[in-house]
């Protein structure tokens, strides 16, 4: 009987390929099912994003509507193609989240060994903050997307004797597009300064072929000129891009506390759109282990990058609390460091025993299961059944779409956001007429329905109309969401 050689087993030889295939399929399936899983509804920030995206027009680039311009273009295209549905609203974040997950996997695989990169990728793309970003129809995901893309592109360029002009061109384009996201102008300025200051990077830039280098320069200068022109002409745009919409220096430290509270709140859930805790204790312990393990080689590139992004996240959170979610990126790097440290310690216990490497699968599987399964359950069920969070999301749009007949009159309360949001719905679905609760009802045909969002006490019903039914929602304190009046 021949001796069993573990290294020749099919599953062992192709374990990383199989692992990445399974991870990819699970991630793609989960990411596209996010709107059907959780959160169950739309937040005010998502509805504001819809209004901003739909108001976008071709002259926006020259009229000053620069804030999160790339994302709003994607969201408007999605609404124009698929109508105003919860899925269409979230689709841009889903697509960006899909690319972001791929970039994180590629970045970790470039910086760490395959076993560490695979495990860290699983923990990162299945974490609560990442899934929230990918399932929320707001431009917040771009705050993590652009730095991750720039890091990966930088890793493709730095260290290469002859970097490909294509990667340099994409890097320059990503730099240009990143400045449309609030606060990232600081990151772009740092990258440009560091490139000019570092001799190796200066040599890399000079070694590029002249024609691609000139082309990149023209694109960057042209885009930057448009950007500068618009921020000079609009103080609101300048304030938002540099400091955030509601920035106040007196609230800087309070903003930091607000932004990071969801990450470290393990007691009573906090009110807001973020499900606390965003990161479990086990994940934080693993990231802390990674930070501890890099103390001797702190100035190595990966360690310095992770630490710099933690500091950067803290500063940005002081400007806008939502920016604390940038912490997803350094946490993924530190998680990989923690896993690398644990695996190295395990293998050092059995330096000459190949079976120890195989048996390490069992404790690692238990560790991953303990971290991933509770995190997914926390995400799926927390957004549905935690009152402090679930009440921040409304299913009104789905209820309206499911219960409005053609030629219906939709009456919305006197609320600026409600009015603007359902004006988008009226424009995309011409079968309804939109009115506010203070407007007089138009002359109706007998078969027309009158539908109100919530109970409106001051409307005067035409003769012959009465309450037909009330549509309720389990996701709101005010469960009576829609009142339908029909001709008797």
Tell me the pLDDT tens digit for each residue of 125-168.
Answer: 888 889 889 888 899 999 999 999 998 888 887 766 666 777 77
Tell me 249's DSSP state.
G
Tell me the pLDDT tens digit for each residue of 34-78.
Answer: 777 777 788 889 999 998 888 887 766 666 677 888 899 999 999
pTM, two decimals, is 0.86
pLDDT of 297 above 70? no
pLDDT of 9 above 70? no
DSSP string computed for 415-476:
-HHHHHHHHHHHHH-TTEEEEETTSPPPP--TT--EEEES--TT--PPTTEEEEEEEE-TTS
For the chain, give the mean pLDDT.
79
Tell me the pLDDT tens digit for each residue of 190-220.
Answer: 887 777 776 766 776 777 767 767 777 777 7
Average pLDDT over residues 331-356: 79
Looking at residue 11, its pLDDT comes to: 59
pLDDT of 299 above 60? no
Sequence-separated (6 or more) residues with CB below 8 Å from residue 168:
157, 205, 208, 212, 213, 216
Q: Which of 126-140, 314-328, 356-370 has the lowest mean pLDDT?
A: 356-370
Tell me the pLDDT tens digit for each residue of 427-483.
Answer: 887 656 666 655 556 555 555 777 777 777 667 777 777 788 888 877 656 678 888
Ordered by start, the domain boundaries in the chain are 19-390, 396-487
């Amino acid at each position: 009987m021949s001796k069993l050689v573990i290294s020749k087993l099919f599953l062992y030889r192709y374990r990383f390929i199989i692992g990445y295939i399974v991870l990819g399929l699970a991630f793609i399936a989960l990411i596209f099912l996010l709107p059907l899983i959780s959160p169950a509804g739309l937040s005010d920030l998502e509805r504001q994003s819809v209004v901003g995206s739909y108001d976008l027009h071709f002259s926006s680039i020259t009229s000053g509507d620069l804030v999160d311009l790339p994302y709003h273009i994607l969201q408007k295209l999605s609404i124009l193609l698929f109508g105003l549905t919860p899925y269409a609203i979230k689709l841009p974040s889903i697509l960006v989240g899909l690319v972001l997950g791929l970039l994180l996997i590629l970045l970790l695989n470039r910086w760490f060994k395959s076993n560490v990169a695979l495990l860290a990728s699983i923990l990162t793309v299945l974490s609560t903050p990442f899934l929230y970003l990918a399932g929320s129809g707001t431009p917040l995901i771009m705050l993590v997307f652009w730095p991750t893309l720039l890091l990966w592109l930088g890793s493709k360029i730095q260290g290469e004797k002859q970097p490909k002009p294509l990667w340099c061109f994409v890097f320059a384009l990503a730099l240009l597009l990143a400045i449309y996201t609030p606060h990232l102008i600081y990151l772009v300025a740092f990258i440009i300064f560091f490139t000019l200051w570092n001799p190796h990077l200066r040599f890399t830039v000079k070694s590029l072929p002249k024609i691609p280098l000139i082309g990149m320069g023209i694109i960057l200068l042209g885009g930057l000129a448009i950007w500068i022109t618009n921020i000079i002409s609009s103080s609101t745009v300048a304030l938002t891009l540099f400091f955030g919409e509601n920035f106040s220096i007196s609230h800087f430290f309070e903003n930091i506390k607000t932004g990071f509270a969801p990450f470290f709140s393990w007691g009573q859930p906090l009110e807001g759109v973020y499900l606390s805790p965003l990161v479990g204790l086990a994940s934080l312990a693993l990231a802390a282990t990674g930070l501890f393990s890099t103390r001797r080689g702190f100035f190595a590139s990966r360690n310095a990058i992770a630490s710099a992004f933690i500091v950067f996240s803290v500063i940005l959170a002081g400007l806008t609390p939502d920016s604390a979610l940038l912490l997803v990126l350094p946490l993924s790097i530190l998680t990989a460091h923690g896993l690398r440290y644990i695996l190295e310690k395990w293998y050092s216990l059995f330096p000459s025993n190949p079976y120890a490497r195989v048996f390490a699968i069992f404790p690692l599987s238990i560790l991953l299961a303990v971290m991933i399964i509770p995190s997914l359950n926390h995400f799926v069920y927390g957004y549905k059944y935690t009152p402090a969070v679930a009440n921040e999301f409304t299913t009104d749009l789905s209820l309206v779409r499911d219960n409005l007949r053609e030629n219906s009159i939709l009456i919305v309360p006197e609320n600026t956001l409600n009015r603007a949001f359902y004006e988008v719905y009226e424009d995309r679905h011409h079968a309804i007429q939109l009115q506010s609760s203070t407007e007089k009802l138009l002359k109706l045909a007998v078969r027309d329905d009158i539908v109100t969002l919530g109970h409106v006490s001051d409307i005067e019903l035409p003769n012959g109309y009465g309450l037909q039914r009330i549509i309720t929602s389990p996701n709101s304190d005010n469960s009576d969401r829609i009142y339908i009046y029909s001709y008797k």
